[in-house]
Amino acid sequence: MDVEKQDERKLVRALLHGEVRALETFYRHYALRLGSFIRQRVVSAQDAEEILQDSLLSALDSFVLFSGKSSLFTWLCGIARHEISDYYRKRTIKSVVFSRLPFVEGFVSRALEPDAKLMRKEYEKRVRRALELILPHYREMLELKYMDGLTVAEIARRLGMSFKACESALVRARRAFSLAYEES
């Protein structure tokens, strides 16, 4: 299967039918280019790789929506843009939620209006509830990553996992947290 010779819609149809060769062709043809697109927008190579994997997984889940109006690569870049936006949004939220600077917390609390304080308390309560709802090993991984500030490699060593297994588990833990947060 060569993408240059084959219509992208046929490739997508083959992917929707679960053809392994189509998946191999898709990955071989688009992963490197999409990774380059993402790395131009995200500083951390590790985060860029995670966003690439999330983008490819999202694409696999969404191929049924591909209309062919734009090129497949343009469509993939749109998915990647959403994943990058989510990455920066989550990074901002994490820095607020998992802040380790208590003196800043006190300053911010005094500066906030009563309604804003109430909103922040509600937000923190939802975060705590979401953490309670997810599996204990996911909670532990998120706490090690965002509260203790450990790297993926350090978490993997501490938990006796390979780097890749830890990285994948963290992706699942973040997704579980996001779902639990939305439900709480």
Residue 21 tokens read as 């060769």
Q: Are 83 and 77 in contact (CB under 8 A)?
A: no
Neighbours of 114 (CB within 10 A): 7
Supply the pLDDT for residue 172.
92
Has residue 3 got a pLDDT over 50?
no
Has residue 1 got a pLDDT over 80?
no
Domains and CATH numbers, the chain: 8-94 (1.10.1740.10), 113-183 (1.10.10.10)
Band the pLDDT of 61: cuts 50, 70, 90: confident
Mean pLDDT of 79-90: 87
Q: Are 83 and 51 in contact (CB under 8 A)?
A: yes
Distances 87 to 21, 80, 82 between C-alpha atoms, Å: 31, 10, 9
Q: What is the pLDDT of residues 23-38, one digit of tens each?
A: 999 999 999 999 999 9
Q: What is the pLDDT of residues 108-149, one digit of tens each?
A: 555 555 555 566 677 778 888 888 999 999 999 988 988 888
Mean pLDDT of 145-166: 91
Q: Is 67 in a helix, a strand, or coil? A: coil
